[in-house]
Structure 1
Amino acid sequence: MPNHGTACLRDNPMPSHMPSHARWLTGGSWITVRGRGGRHRLFVRQDGPEDGRPVTLLHGFPTSSHDWSLILPHLTDLGLRVTSFDLLGFGASDKPRRHTYSVMEQADLAEGVWTHLDIGDTAMVAHDYGVTVAQELLARNPRRVTRMVWLNGGLYPDLHRPLRIQRLLHGPFGPLLSHGINQKTFARSMRRLMARPASDQNLHEMWNGMALHQGHLLAPRLLRYIDERRAHETRWVTALEDFNAPTLFVWGPRDPISGAHVAQRIRQRFPHARLQELDDPFPVGHYPQIEAPDEVGSLIGKFLSSPPGLVCD
């Protein structure tokens, strides 16, 4: 069986280079938001015209809002007002070491960001861990979300296929094993997730966000979201399937965690929604926004910026 995560460059386009994580941080600031475990400082960016249509980006595990850096220009060039932030325990946001992390609190904090920045109704774009936060936000107030874009993530807990390293970190020896995470092991895992080749530079910058303030040691605590997905499956799947505003699925089918098998479920449950599988001419894996930024940025930008009556779903 071919190893799509290490496909050679002659069979795939050259990867786009992400801006450095340090440069990404210069475009944002920190705000203090109250969550269930107290007050926390979150790194936040707002890009695009102040009067643009609001869009909120929710990133995945184990990285940060920096994941959106390559598609951001596609959105702001269309006049969208884009808010992106690092979830608690990720990137440049606070990373309390002994904190009990939960999706519920992440949703609280997202609402806190909206309140702090005076954001009312907003479109959402979510990936990986972020899709679960988005599902909880939809469960609370679906009318607040004007449009929804889903990228690869665990929408259905019964279809989630975590990597072996995720299963180990989620197990009883996770805290001990987390001390063995380094840039090399991180890069190896990322390459298993991506069907298109990732540059050493991009993986280095993604690692910088994760490892900031020793964030890699939090992986076992953050991975509790796997249990939360099972515990709240009915609530979150219902929120997903009952949402009736325009919806777009942008999917990398070669994703070993949530790829073609999840796309098949999406086709069954959402026969009239727009599902864009990224497999032609080159396959895409778990990180569509990094593996195919121009295509993904264009798809999302056009979907979010089109007039209400012209959205195809």
Structure 2
Amino acid sequence: MDEFARWRATGRRFTHRGHQIFYRDSAFDAGPPATGTDGARVLLCVHGFPTASWDWHALWPGLCAEFTRVLAADMIGFGWSAKPRDYRYSILDQADLQERLLREQGVRRVHILAHDYGDTVAQELLARAAERRHAGDDSLVIESVCLLNGGLFPETHRARPIQRLLAGPLGPLASALASRAAFERSLGAVFGPETKPSAADLDRFWLLWCGRRGKRNGHKLIRYMAERRVHRRRWVAALTETPVPLRLLDGMLDPVSGGHMVARYRELVPEPDVVELADVGHYPQLEAPEETLAGVLEFHRTRVG
């Protein structure tokens, strides 16, 4: 069994709004689950668009060696999770999904590692954590957030042509007719020139996107770009006003959220903690996994403890 098949075979499932959600849980590879209490360190990994929890596979062994427990779900509409056609996909609902997973697993304190679309989910989770903190509610505490390339600020997000097409009036047709070749060209273009995905990588990305007829929902999932504009104040404040330790690790060659987004992050976020990956594109965890893992672990060892 290859690593991709093993990732799926060792996954588990929980139910969100009546739909089955795939997730990986390191605890079931190594004994009884930890819950983020009594010194346990739990990490939640939140993937991006249009991929899935598989994005974390290259970092997984290193993360599992550092944290007591590591969780990573395929959000609804992605990967091996349910992809219902009649469903109101939203960042708010994906945040509900992540909180449901944590609460069902008894996790009360959590660290977050997020990428792309997952960054926006993490921003909403941070906003909710602030509301709980102000209310004296410690039922779910976020202890740190580490972000990889993502559209943290709508004014710096440079959508790809296929994203603009999906978000427009022809979105439903574009979803239905999207070809594998177009998908691979679009996804490959956001990687760095020297760190392109292999043919096998692209094959797996396509399978994750198309499984369960998932590509038909592309125009619904892409609504997150409009959500970012609607909720900009809330989600930017989640970064600029939080006492939670933050780090941004960013592939600077990313045409979507690379160096230009980092410049805006430095302008807005107080005392910004940024690690710039000079020769990397949109997927640091896949293009430069050793550097990315080192940046994540150094953040936790020096700033989080």
TM-score, length of structure 2 as denominator length? 0.89
Determine the C-alpha separation between the residues in 2 that align with 1:62 and 1:240.
24
Alignment check: 8 A CA contact 2:240 2:270 kept: no
Point out where structure 2 has 5 or more consecutive residues left out of the alignment.
35-39, 134-140
Match of 1:45 in 2: 24
Match of 1:67 in 2: 55
Q: Of the candidates 28, 33, 37, which is equivalent to residue 11 of structure 2?
A: 28
Match of 1:311 in 2: 303
Match of 1:122 in 2: 110
Determine the C-alpha separation between the residues in 2 that align with 1:182 and 1:123.
37
Cα deviation digits, residues 184-238 of structure 1 (max 9, x gap): 2211111110002211111111111111101111110000111111111111111
Alignment check: 8 A CA contact 1:132 1:236 kept: yes
Match of 1:150 in 2: 147
After the TM superposition, list the runs of 4 or more consecutive aligned residues in structure 1 that deviate by more than 4 angstroms: none
Match of 1:291 in 2: 287
- Secondary structure at the counterpart of residue 66 of structure 2: coil
Match of 1:230 in 2: 229
Determine the C-alpha separation between the residues in 2 that align with 1:276 and 1:59.
19
Alignment check: 8 A CA contact 2:112 2:122 kept: yes
- Secondary structure at the counterpart of residue 193 of structure 1: coil
Cα deviation digits, residues 262-292 of structure 1 (max 9, x gap): 101122223523201101xxx1011111110
- Secondary structure at the counterpart of residue 226 of structure 1: helix
Q: Do structure 1's residue 207 and structure 2's residue 195 form an aligned pair?
A: no
Match of 1:4 in 2: none
Give 1:242 deviation, angstroms: 1.0
Q: Of the candidates 173, 177, 181, which is equivalent to residue 184 of structure 1?
A: 181
Alignment check: 8 A CA contact 1:138 1:145 kept: yes
Point out where structure 1 has 5 or more consecutive residues left out of the alignment.
1-17
Determine the C-alpha separation between the residues in 2 that align with 1:170 and 1:79.
38
Q: How many residue pairs align between the two structures?
A: 284
Q: Do structure 1's residue 19 and structure 2's residue 19 form an aligned pair?
A: no
Cα deviation digits, residues 50-81 of structure 1 (max 9, x gap): 44410001101111111111111111122441
- Map 1:77-226; keep pairs closer than 5 Å: 77-142=65-130, 144-195=141-192, 196-226=195-225
- Map 1:2-13; keep pairs closer than 5 Å: none
Determine the C-alpha separation between the residues in 1 that align with 2:269 and 2:260.
14
What is the RMSD of the two structures over their aligned residues, measured on CA atoms?
1.7
Q: 1:30 to 1:205 in 2, by over 3 A?
A: same
Identity among equivalent positions (%) equals: 40
AA matched with 2:116? D
Match of 1:9 in 2: none
Q: 1:312 to 1:45 in 2, by over 3 A?
A: closer
Determine the C-alpha separation between the residues in 2 that align with 1:72 and 1:183.
28
Determine the C-alpha separation between the residues in 1 that align with 2:254 and 2:69.
30
AA matched with 1:151? L
- Map 1:262-281; keep pairs closer than 5 Å: 262-270=261-269, 272-279=271-278
Higher RCO, 1 or 2 (CA under 8 Å, sep at least 6)? 1
AA matched with 1:129? Y
Give 1:312 deviation, angstroms: 7.2
Q: 1:311 to 1:74 in 2, by over 3 A?
A: same
AA matched with 1:301? L
Alignment check: 8 A CA contact 1:194 1:287 kept: yes
Determine the C-alpha separation between the residues in 1 that align with 2:225 and 2:163.
10
TM-score, length of structure 1 as denominator length? 0.87
